[in-house]
Amino acid sequence: MATLAETQMEVLAVIEDDPDVQFLIETIFSMDSRFTLANIAETAEEALESARTAEPGIFVLDHGLAGSLSGLDAAPLLKELAPHAKIILFTAHAELKARASAEAAIDAFLLKTDSTRLLFLAQRLSGMDSQPT
């Protein structure tokens, strides 16, 4: 009989305007079939629109985005639309760590230079074990 951790699926939404980083995130999450990519948005505004219907469990959110909203600005709005979702601020800006820590809507902060930790972090936030299925 399968355990909950073995059958749990998480819907992933990526908010990132750099196509190379989008590809990196997609590649990382393709290593664990329990994650399903629902949406890639280049702006926070696109992400907010899609969050109304996609019901993501995990947001991987960049800070410096195309559009008028930054990742830090968008996080509380995303959390309002998807209150049970976990938000990972995935950015190149180390100086944002304190601000991200002070923002209740952000569940984790990760530098893009630490991308090898992204999948494990998402698994942990989702309550999954770290072994892909």
Contact 13, 41 (CB under 8 A): yes
CB-based contacts of 82, cutoff 8 Å, min separation 6: 51, 55, 56, 59
**One-letter identity of residue 15:** I
* Separation in Å, CA 85 to CA 27, 67, 106, 125, 128: 21, 22, 10, 9, 14
Stated pTM of the model? 0.90
Task: With H, G, I as helix, E, B as strand and everything else as coil, classify residue 39.
Answer: strand
User: What's the rounded Cα separation, in Å, for the pair 62 and 71?
Assistant: 6
80-125 per-position pLDDT tens digit: 999 999 999 999 999 999 999 999 999 999 999 999 999 999 999 9
Fold that domain 12-37+44-125 belongs to in CATH: Rossmann fold (3.40.50)
Question: Is pLDDT of 133 > 70?
Answer: no
